[in-house]
Amino acid sequence: MAPLKSVAVFWVLAVGLALGAARLARAQRAAVSAEHGIVTSAQVLASEAGLAMLQRGGNAIDAAVATGLALTSVYPIAGNLGGGGFMLIHLAAAAGRSARDVIIDYRETAPAAASRDMYLDAEGNVLTGLRSSTVGWRASGVPGSVAGFALALEKYGSGKITWAEACEPARRLAGDGHILSPGAAAQLRNSAGTLRLFAESKKIFLNGGSFWQAGDVWKQPDLAATFARLQAKGPREFYEGETARLIAAAMQKNLGTLTPEDLRNYRAVERNPLRGTYRGHLLVTMPPPSSGGIVVLQMLAMLEPFNLGRMGHNSAEKYHLLAEVMRRAFRDRAEYLGDPDFSNVPVTQLLDPNYLRHRMDDFSVDRATPSSAVAAGLGPIKLSQNAASHQARFAQESSETTHFSVVDAAGNAVANTYTLNGNFGSGVTIPGTGVLMNNEMDDFTAKLGVKNMFGLLQGPANSIQPGKRPLSAMTPTMVFKDGQLLLVTGSPGGPTIINTVLQVVINVIDHQMPVMQAVEAPRIHHQWMQDLLTYERYGISADTAALLVAKGHALKERASYEGGYQGDAETILIDPVSGIRHGAADPRKPDARAVGH
């Protein structure tokens, strides 16, 4: 557990952010430098769990697994056993071994009972409430986090850290408890509307309705018992043991969709990452079923002919260009992307340099292109009549995922992004386990032309099918220069993930910012539909905004329920000369911290 002095410092930061003192909070956050290994995550106790593995001789993969499991106990808004995600691993060259990059895809899958129209009523309208894809017992895909972390540890761990040892920090933080920060207490309180719908969630996360307060020692005995079972029986216990039995029994009792067979049949899979270049740098990033890697590489290819450094970071000229690139890439995302095991995703064509060169043929330096006029090869996706209302129903839902980055002394690295999808997922906690379930089914296309909870339009390639992985925006990414690892990054934020990663990369490469400034810098977002350029609080000056409006952009400051901020880019930069690791914990998350040795 962190010393009380450290906890107090982070409480001050949290209160500062809550009061909107963003500039003060940022002034108190600096990059952490380390000679050997470094971990940065959204919660200091989880970062420390990972660092403990490095200090015991473990590698970056060992540390990543311990960090991800610990986030379940201390960051339940997104840290999870009941969700899924993606891990990008870089294995540094060693004696008798060349460097290698690999993806662990532990994204959730649709249960066997899932069907294309399962979230439509008799009139073909998208269902709401407890029968929907966002809340309750029918909203969950089959969880992948336990299987993904286990596969990573088994195949790519150092061999010095056992599965039981990697689970121990999470078990201890749940069983012995940890002190709630103001930010964590606020997260629980702000999601009461969903959590109070389910008795188990109300008991655990809302203190029975009385609410947990900052400074309380929060204990989760059922979750601790689940980790103890995982330690004693191994990771398959989650899918075939007592935990699986409890999940399946609760689902059956509440007319949910997951079955014992769904859990027993789940497997994480390995994939080859995507690679692309930008101004002499190599990017290694996520392939489908994430859309993130393709969209980032598309946008960088469209940006490369332009001199962003000359434009300046916050200029209207640059923001106009970024918005135009974003809207074109997100248009392709909506049309073509899905699970490659079920759909023919045209990766090669979408990343073809000639195709991307022509993607900007209708770009104007003077005028914004209306999103309705941005074409894709299969023709426009037409909005249904109830699309706007579906989006409005979830307008107050914050997009919550979490990302963490790790680099060890040998140069091995992990960029991991995982999620429950919305804040606290579906709101369902499985009785007797402490396990929150995801609402990942909303990432599928519930109905063509209808936006999901993040306002995204998605195509037929992402329709619901049993065993299919829903399309994701998660974008764990690494950047290399002259064969050496330079940058490890990623972010939460629903569709904004992609544009957050893009901007961190160009801040480092084009604007040559130190890593902390690259992470701190204001961010913008455009996702094609709706035709809106959003920006962070304090992120665009009045005169810059006026110039963008004059070009035809519709602008909107990010909503206060998101803190006015976009993303949480937990990032590590390795100095190419000294080899020193610099960890930037994003100040948008008051409990985030980079720790190293």
Torsion sign across C-alpha atoms 468, 268, 399, 486: negative
Structure tokens at 405: 């980055």
Three-state SS letters, 401-440: EEEEEEECCCCCEEEEEEEEEECCCCCCEECCCCEECCCH
- Pairing state of beta strands 429-430 and 581-584? unpaired
**Closest Cα partner for 63 from 402, 416, 420, 368?**
416
Cα atoms found within 13 Å of the Cα of residue 154, Cβ hemisphere only: 12
List the structure tokens of 273. 């990452």
* b/e sequence 295-327, b meaning 16+ C-beta within 10 Å: bbbbbbbbbbebebeebebeebbbbbbbbbbbb
CB neighbours of residue 176 within 10 Å: 12
The encoded tokens of residue 477 equal 């990414």
How many whole angstroms separate alpha carbon 514 and alpha carbon 366?
A: 32
List the helix and strand counts (H, then E) for the chain. 22, 21
List, in order, residues 6 or more apart from 297 with CB less than 8 Å away: 274, 276, 283, 285, 351
Catalytically active residues are 401
568/581 Cα distance (integer angstroms): 19
Residue 260 burial class via C-beta count within 10 angstroms: exposed 0-12, middle 13-18, buried 19 and up: middle
Question: 1 in helix, strand or coil?
Answer: coil
